Structure 1
Amino acid sequence: MKRFPLRRTALALALGVGAAVIAPALAVGAPGPTPSPAPVEIAGKKPAVPVPVDTQAGLRAYFVITEPSQVAAGKTAVTSNGGTVYASYDAIGVIVAHSTDADFAAKVRPAQGVQKVGATRTSDVPAAAANPAIPPSPSQTTPTAAETNRSDMTQIGADKAWDINPGSASVTVGILDTGVDDQHYDLKPNFDASKSASCAYGKLDTREGSWRPVGDHGTHVAGTIAAARNGKGMVGVAPGVKISSVRVAEAGNQLFFPENTVCAFVFAGDKGLQVTNNSYYTDPWLFACPTDTDQAAILEGVKRAVAYAEGKNVLNVAAAGNENYNLAKKTTDSTSPNDSTPVNRTITDACQSLPTELPGVVVVSSVNGSNVKSSFSNYGTDKVHVAAPGDNVYSTVLGGQYGSKSGTSMASPHVAGVAALLASVNPGISTADLRAKLAAQANDIACPSGETRCTGSTAKNSFYGEGLVDAKESVEGPASPVSVTSPGDQSGKVGQAASLQIKATDAGGKTLTYAASGLPAGLTINSTSGLISGTPTAAGSSSVTVTVTNADGKTGTAKFGWTVTSDGGGGTVTVTKPSDQWGFVNWAVTPLQISGSSTAGGSLTYTAAGLPTGLSITPAGRISGTPTKAGTYTVTVTGTDAGGAKGTTSFGWRIYGF
Structure 2
Amino acid sequence: MRSETRLLTWRLATAVLTSVLSVIMALLPAVANAAPPERAEIDPRLTSQVTARHTGPVQALLVLDSTSPRGSGHARVVGDLKRTAATTQATVLRALRRLPAATVLNSFWLQNMLLVEFGGGQETLDGLAGLPGVDRVIANFTMKLVDDGQADQGPTAGATVEDRTWGLDRIEATRVADELGIDGTGVRVATLDTGVDATHPDLAGKLATTDPADPTHPGGWIEFDQNGNPLATLPHDSADHGTHVSGTIHGGAASGVRIGVAPGATMMHGLVLAGGEGTFSQVAAGMQWALAPFDNQGAPAGEPADVINMSLGPQYGGYAEELVTPSRNAYLAGTVVVASSGNCGDGCHGSPGNIFDNIAVGNTTVTDDVNDSSSGGVAQKSAFAAPPADWPETWITPDVSAPGTDVLSTVPGGLYGEATGTSMASPHVAGTVALLRQAAPELTPAQVLEVLRDSSFFDDRYGEQRPNTRYGHGRINAYRAVAPVAFGSGVTGTVTNAATGAPLAGLTVADRTAGTTTTTGPDGGYRLRAAPGTHEIVVANFGYTTVTADVEVTAESFARHDVALRVAPVGEVSGTVVFAASGHGVPGVTVELDDTPLRTTTGTDGTFRFPAVPAGGYDLTASLPGYPAPEPVRVTVDGGAVATVDLTIPVPPPVVGVLGSVPSSYPATIGAYLDAHGIPNEAIRWDADVTRYDAIVVNRPGSPGAARFAEFLAATDAAGIGVVFLDTWQTSGNGIALLNEYLHNPATRGRDSDPSVPALAYRVTAPHPVVEGFAVGEDIVFDNTSFYTDHAWFDGYTGEGRTTIADAARTDTGVLGRGIGVQERPNNRHVLLSMHGASTYTSPKNWTEDAGTVFRNALTWAGRAPDPDRARFVPSNLRVDADTALAGQPVTASVTWTNIGARAGDHTAVLSVDGVAEPGQPLHLAAGESTTVTWTIARQELGTYQLAVESLTGSFRVRAPTVSLTASTVDGPLAGATVELVGQGGLTSAGLTDSAGTATFETTAADAEYTVVVRRAPTGTDSRAYLLTKKLRIARDTALTLGTEPLSVFALTADDVGGGHQAWTYLRGELTGPWAFPFGSGTVVATAGRYELRHLHALTSPERDTWGVSAIARADLTTPGTYTRSYGGAARATVSASLTRAGQLSGTWSVTDGHGNPFTLLARTDLRPLATLPVVSLEDLPAVVGGTAPHATEVVVRVYDRQGDQVHGAGLGWPGGNFGVALGRVRGDYRVEVRAVTGGYLPGEIVASRSVRPA
Give the alignment's TM-score, normalised by structure 2: 0.29
Equivalent residue, structure 2, for 1:60: 58
Instruction: State the shift of 1:304 in Å.
Output: 2.2
RMSD: 3.5
Give 1:273's aligned amino acid: A
Question: Which whole-Å CA distance do the structure 2 matches of 1:317 and 1:418 have between them?
Answer: 11
1:421 to partner: Cα distance:
0.6
Q: Tell me the equivalent position of 1:75.
A: 93
Q: Specify the alignment match of 2:930 in structure 1.
A: none
Q: CA 1:481–1:76 in structure 2 vs 1: closer, same or farther (change >3 Å)?
A: same
1:121 aligns with 2:121: no
Shift of 1:366: 0.6
Q: Structure 1 residues 410 and 512 mapped into 2: Cα distance closer, same or farther (>3 Å)?
A: closer
Q: For 1:121 and 1:101, how far apart are their aligned partners in 2?
A: 20
CA displacement 1:76-102 (0-9 Å, x = unmatched): 444533211111014542111122333
Cross-structure match for 2:369: 372
Residue in structure 2 matched with residue 463 of structure 1 by the alignment: 470
CA positional deviation for 1:506: 6.4
Paired with 1:354 and 1:506, the residues of 2 have a C-alpha distance of 35
Residue identity in the other structure for 1:155: R
Matched, 1:279 2:311: yes
- The CA deviation string for residues 533-580 of structure 1, in whole angstroms up to 9 with x for no partner, is xxxxxxxxxx999952479xxxxxxxxxxxxxxxxxxxxxxxxxxxxx
- The verdict on how the C-alpha distance between 1:400 and 1:512 changes in structure 2, with shifts beyond 3 A counting, is closer
Match of 1:270 among 292, 295, 300: 292
2:265 is aligned to 241
Using a 3 Å threshold, how does the CA distance of structure 1 residues 457 and 171 change in structure 2: closer, same or farther?
Answer: same
Distance 1:74 1:231, change over 3 A: same
Give the CA deviation at 1:418: 0.6
**Within 5 Å, which residues of 2 pair with 1:481-492?**
482=491
Structure 2: distance between partners of 1:397 and 1:232 = 16
Q: SS where residue 75 of structure 1 aligns?
A: helix
Quote the offset at 1:232 in angstroms.
Answer: 3.5
Task: Report the AA paired with residue 59 of structure 1.
Answer: P
Name the counterpart of 1:442.
456
For the residue of structure 1 that corresponds to 2:432, the secondary structure is: helix
Pairing 1:196–2:221 present: yes
Q: Which amino acid aligns with 1:202?
A: N
Residue 280 of structure 2 corresponds to which residue in structure 1? 258
Q: Is the contact between residue 456 and residue 475 of structure 2 (CA under 8 Å) also seen in structure 1?
A: yes
Q: Quote how far apart the aligned CAs of 1:200 are.
A: 3.2
Q: Counterpart amino acid of 1:403?
A: G
SS at match of 1:399: coil
Aligned 8 A contact 1:200 1:249 in 2: no
- Residue type of the alignment partner of 1:73: T
Residues 295-353 of structure 1 deviation map (CA, whole Å, 9 limit, x = unaligned): xxxx33x322222322321100001111114137xxxxxxxxxxxxxxxxxxxxxxxx3
Equivalent residue for 2:107? 88
Pairs within 5 Å for 1:106-185: 106-121=126-141, 148-163=163-178, 164-185=180-201
Deviation at 1:168, TM superposition (A): 3.3
C-alpha distance in 2, partners of 1:96/1:420? 34
CA distance in 2, matches of 1:365, 1:358: 14
1:362 corresponding residue in structure 2: 359
**Relative contact order higher in (CA < 8 Å, ≥ 6 apart):** 1
Q: CA deviation at 1:400?
A: 0.6
Give the Cα separation in 2 of the matches to 1:512 and 1:303: 35
Q: Are the aligned partners of 2:363 and 2:422 in contact in 1 as well (CA < 8 Å)? A: yes
Question: Which residue type is aligned with residue 267 of structure 2?
Answer: I
- The SS at the match of 2:259 is coil
Equivalence for 2:559 = 548
C-alpha separation in 2, matches of 1:228 and 1:204: 32
Query: Would you say the 8 A contact 1:322–1:378 is kept in 2?
Result: yes
Does the 8 Å CA contact 2:340/2:422 hold for their aligned counterparts?
yes
Is the CA contact 1:257–1:282 (under 8 Å) kept in the aligned structure 2? no
Task: Describe the SS at the equivalent of 1:190.
Answer: coil
SS of corresponding position for 2:284: helix
Q: How far apart are 1:57 and its partner, in Å?
A: 5.1
**Structure 1 residues 102 and 150 mapped into 2: Cα distance closer, same or farther (>3 Å)?**
same
Would the aligned equivalents of 1:173 and 1:276 in 2 still touch at CA under 8 Å? yes
Name 1:634's counterpart in structure 2: none
What CA distance in whole angstroms lies between the structure 2 residues aligned with 1:415 and 1:545?
29
Gap change, CA 1:306 and 1:200, over 3 Å in 2: farther
Residue 101 (structure 1) aligned to one of 97, 117, 120: 120
3-state SS of paired residue (2:369): coil
Confirm or deny: 8 A CA contact 2:111 2:325 kept in the other structure.
yes
Deviation track 1:459-481 (CA, whole Å, cap 9, x = no partner) reads 32111111011111233128998
**Paired residue for 1:307?**
328
Number of residue pairs matched by the alignment: 385
**2:232 corresponds to 1:207:** yes
Q: In structure 2, do the counterparts of structure 1 residues 435 and 105 end up closer, same or farther at CA, with 3 Å as the change threshold?
A: farther
Residues 550, 311 of structure 1: CA spacing in aligned structure 2 closer, same or farther, 3 A cutoff? Answer: farther
Alignment of 1:584-595 (within 5 A): none
3-state SS of paired residue (2:357): coil
SS at match of 2:429: helix
Say yes or no: does 1:472 pair with 2:479.
Answer: yes
- Partners of 2:207 and 2:220 within 8 A in 1: no
Residue 224 of structure 1 deviates from its aligned partner by 0.5
**Contact between 1:78 and 1:97, CA under 8 Å: does it hold in 2?**
no
SS in 2 for 1:80: coil
CA contact (8 A) 2:439 2:482 kept: yes
Distance across 2 between alignment mates of 1:512 and 1:358: 31
Name the structure with the higher strand share. Answer: 2
For residue 225 of structure 1, report the CA deviation from its aligned partner. 0.7
Cα offset, 1:263, TM superposition: 0.6
Mapped partners of 2:432, 2:466: distance in 1: 19
SS of 1:477's partner is helix
Contact kept in structure 1, 2:354 and 2:398, CA below 8 Å: no
**Matched residue SS, 1:276:** strand
Aligned pair 1:221/2:245, yes or no?
A: yes
Corresponding letter in the other structure for 1:468: R
Asked if 1:394 is matched to 2:408, the reply is yes
Give the conservation status (yes or no) of the 8 Å contact 1:445–1:468. Answer: no
C-alpha contact (below 8 Å) 2:455/2:476 kept by paired residues:
yes
Distance 1:203 1:189 in 2: 27
Whether contact under 8 Å (2:201, 2:254) holds in the other structure is: no
Q: Structure 2 matches for 1:508-547, cutoff 5 A?
A: 510=524, 547=558
Q: Hey, what does 1:127 align to over in structure 2?
A: none
Specify the SS of the correspondent of 1:188: coil
Q: Distance in 2 between matches of 1:247 and 1:155?
A: 30
Change (3 A) 1:91 1:324: closer
Correspondence 1:417 to 2:431: yes
Q: CA offset at residue 240 of structure 1?
A: 1.2
Q: Any idea what SS the aligned residue of 2:426 has?
A: helix
Bigger CA radius of gyration = 2
What residue in structure 1 maps to residue 866 of structure 2? none
Query: Would the aligned equivalents of 1:151 and 1:369 in 2 still touch at CA under 8 Å?
Result: yes
The change in CA–CA distance for 1:550 and 1:57 in structure 2 (over 3 A counts) is: farther
User: Structure 2 CA distance, aligned partners of 1:282 and 1:506?
Assistant: 41
Q: Which residue of 2 aligns with 1:322?
A: 343
Counterparts in 2 of 1:57 and 1:153: CA distance versus 1, 3 Å: farther
CA distance in 2, matches of 1:114, 1:313: 28
Do the aligned partners of 2:109 and 2:288 also contact (CA within 8 Å) in 1? Answer: no
Instruction: Check conservation: 1:61, 1:121, Cα contact below 8 A.
Output: no
Q: Cα distance, 1:286 vs. partner? A: 5.4
Deviation at 1:255, TM superposition (A): 0.9
Instruction: For residues 88-117 of structure 1, give each alpha carbon's deviation from its aligned partner in whole angstroms, at most 9, with x where no partner exists.
Output: 014542111122333243321121111110
| Cα deviation, residue 205, structure 1 | 1.5
